[in-house]
Structure 1
Protein backbone atom coordinates (compact mmCIF):
# COMPACT_ATOMS: atom_id res chain seq x y z
CA UNK A 1 0.00 0.00 0.00
CA UNK A 2 1.30 3.44 -0.87
CA UNK A 3 1.77 6.08 1.84
CA UNK A 4 -0.77 8.39 0.17
CA UNK A 5 -3.52 5.79 0.27
CA UNK A 6 -5.57 3.91 2.80
CA UNK A 7 -7.08 0.47 2.77
CA UNK A 8 -10.68 -0.17 3.74
CA UNK A 9 -12.76 -3.31 3.74
CA UNK A 10 -16.18 -3.07 2.10
CA UNK A 11 -18.42 -6.10 2.64
CA UNK A 12 -15.36 -8.33 3.20
CA UNK A 13 -13.46 -7.04 0.11
CA UNK A 14 -10.32 -4.89 0.46
CA UNK A 15 -10.04 -1.63 -1.49
CA UNK A 16 -7.36 1.06 -1.67
CA UNK A 17 -8.48 4.69 -1.64
CA UNK A 18 -6.74 8.05 -1.45
CA UNK A 19 -5.96 9.27 2.07
CA UNK A 20 -8.53 12.05 1.92
CA UNK A 21 -11.34 9.66 0.92
CA UNK A 22 -14.84 10.17 2.17
CA UNK A 23 -17.55 7.53 2.52
CA UNK A 24 -19.05 8.58 -0.83
CA UNK A 25 -15.73 7.70 -2.53
CA UNK A 26 -15.88 4.18 -1.08
CA UNK A 27 -19.52 3.81 -2.07
CA UNK A 28 -18.78 4.88 -5.66
CA UNK A 29 -15.96 2.36 -5.88
CA UNK A 30 -18.19 -0.38 -4.43
CA UNK A 31 -21.01 0.43 -6.86
CA UNK A 32 -18.58 0.35 -9.79
CA UNK A 33 -17.85 -3.28 -8.87
CA UNK A 34 -21.31 -4.38 -7.74
CA UNK A 35 -23.63 -2.26 -9.86
CA UNK A 36 -25.85 0.70 -9.00
CA UNK A 37 -27.85 0.17 -5.87
CA UNK A 38 -30.47 2.75 -4.99
CA UNK A 39 -31.50 1.74 -1.48
CA UNK A 40 -28.94 0.70 1.11
CA UNK A 41 -27.63 1.54 4.56
CA UNK A 42 -24.02 1.90 5.63
CA UNK A 43 -22.06 1.20 8.80
CA UNK A 44 -18.42 1.92 9.54
CA UNK A 45 -16.82 -0.30 12.16
CA UNK A 46 -20.26 -1.40 13.32
CA UNK A 47 -21.75 2.11 13.67
CA UNK A 48 -24.50 3.09 11.24
CA UNK A 49 -23.82 6.33 9.38
CA UNK A 50 -26.70 8.72 8.58
CA UNK A 51 -27.12 9.15 4.82
CA UNK A 52 -26.98 12.95 5.30
CA UNK A 53 -23.32 12.63 6.39
CA UNK A 54 -22.01 10.32 3.64
CA UNK A 55 -20.31 13.23 1.81
CA UNK A 56 -18.52 14.50 4.93
CA UNK A 57 -17.63 11.23 6.68
CA UNK A 58 -13.85 10.78 6.44
CA UNK A 59 -12.42 7.29 6.20
CA UNK A 60 -9.42 5.97 8.11
CA UNK A 61 -6.99 3.24 7.23
CA UNK A 62 -8.43 -0.12 8.26
CA UNK A 63 -12.08 0.99 8.41
CA UNK A 64 -14.58 -1.80 7.89
CA UNK A 65 -17.60 -0.64 5.87
CA UNK A 66 -20.73 -2.75 5.78
CA UNK A 67 -23.32 -1.99 3.13
CA UNK A 68 -26.70 -3.63 3.55
CA UNK A 69 -29.71 -3.63 1.27
CA UNK A 70 -33.29 -3.89 2.49
CA UNK A 71 -34.93 -7.27 2.08
CA UNK A 72 -38.63 -7.41 1.34
CA UNK A 73 -40.80 -10.21 2.43
CA UNK A 74 -43.89 -11.08 4.22
Structure 2
Protein backbone atom coordinates (compact mmCIF):
# COMPACT_ATOMS: atom_id res chain seq x y z
CA UNK A 1 0.00 0.00 0.00
CA UNK A 2 1.68 3.20 -1.16
CA UNK A 3 -0.35 5.65 0.94
CA UNK A 4 -0.52 4.76 4.63
CA UNK A 5 -3.77 5.80 6.28
CA UNK A 6 -3.80 6.98 9.87
CA UNK A 7 -6.73 6.22 12.14
CA UNK A 8 -7.21 7.79 15.56
CA UNK A 9 -9.83 5.96 17.64
CA UNK A 10 -12.74 8.02 18.91
CA UNK A 11 -15.67 7.36 21.15
CA UNK A 12 -19.11 6.30 20.05
CA UNK A 13 -21.52 8.18 22.28
CA UNK A 14 -24.51 8.17 19.94
CA UNK A 15 -27.77 6.83 21.41
CA UNK A 16 -29.00 3.42 20.29
CA UNK A 17 -32.04 3.58 18.00
CA UNK A 18 -34.78 1.34 19.35
CA UNK A 19 -36.33 -1.09 16.90
CA UNK A 20 -33.12 -1.27 14.89
CA UNK A 21 -31.19 -4.52 14.89
CA UNK A 22 -27.44 -4.38 15.05
CA UNK A 23 -24.47 -6.54 14.21
CA UNK A 24 -21.12 -6.21 15.95
CA UNK A 25 -17.83 -6.75 14.18
CA UNK A 26 -14.70 -7.40 16.20
CA UNK A 27 -11.12 -6.82 15.11
CA UNK A 28 -8.49 -8.53 17.21
CA UNK A 29 -4.81 -7.86 16.90
CA UNK A 30 -2.01 -5.44 17.55
CA UNK A 31 -3.37 -1.87 17.89
CA UNK A 32 -1.50 -0.62 14.83
CA UNK A 33 -2.81 -3.53 12.72
CA UNK A 34 -6.37 -2.95 13.88
CA UNK A 35 -6.10 0.78 13.11
CA UNK A 36 -4.78 0.02 9.62
CA UNK A 37 -7.59 -2.47 9.00
CA UNK A 38 -10.20 0.09 10.12
CA UNK A 39 -8.69 2.62 7.71
CA UNK A 40 -8.78 0.08 4.87
CA UNK A 41 -12.42 -0.81 5.64
CA UNK A 42 -13.25 2.90 5.57
CA UNK A 43 -11.66 3.29 2.13
CA UNK A 44 -13.74 0.30 0.95
CA UNK A 45 -16.86 2.07 2.33
CA UNK A 46 -17.55 -0.74 4.81
CA UNK A 47 -18.01 1.69 7.71
CA UNK A 48 -16.98 5.17 8.71
CA UNK A 49 -13.73 5.02 10.66
CA UNK A 50 -15.18 7.06 13.53
CA UNK A 51 -18.00 4.53 14.09
CA UNK A 52 -15.65 1.97 15.64
CA UNK A 53 -15.38 1.91 19.42
CA UNK A 54 -12.20 2.67 21.27
CA UNK A 55 -9.70 -0.14 21.75
CA UNK A 56 -10.59 -2.50 24.59
CA UNK A 57 -8.34 -4.61 26.77
CA UNK A 58 -9.11 -8.30 27.05
CA UNK A 59 -10.56 -7.95 30.59
CA UNK A 60 -12.87 -5.20 29.30
CA UNK A 61 -14.00 -7.46 26.44
CA UNK A 62 -14.71 -10.26 28.91
CA UNK A 63 -16.81 -7.99 31.14
CA UNK A 64 -18.66 -6.34 28.27
CA UNK A 65 -19.36 -9.23 25.92
CA UNK A 66 -18.55 -12.62 27.41
CA UNK A 67 -19.95 -12.59 30.95
TM-score range, shorter chain: under 0.3
Richer in helix (by share): 2
Structure with greater strand share of residues? 1
TM-score normalised by L of structure 1? 0.25
Q: TM-score, normalised by structure 2?
A: 0.27
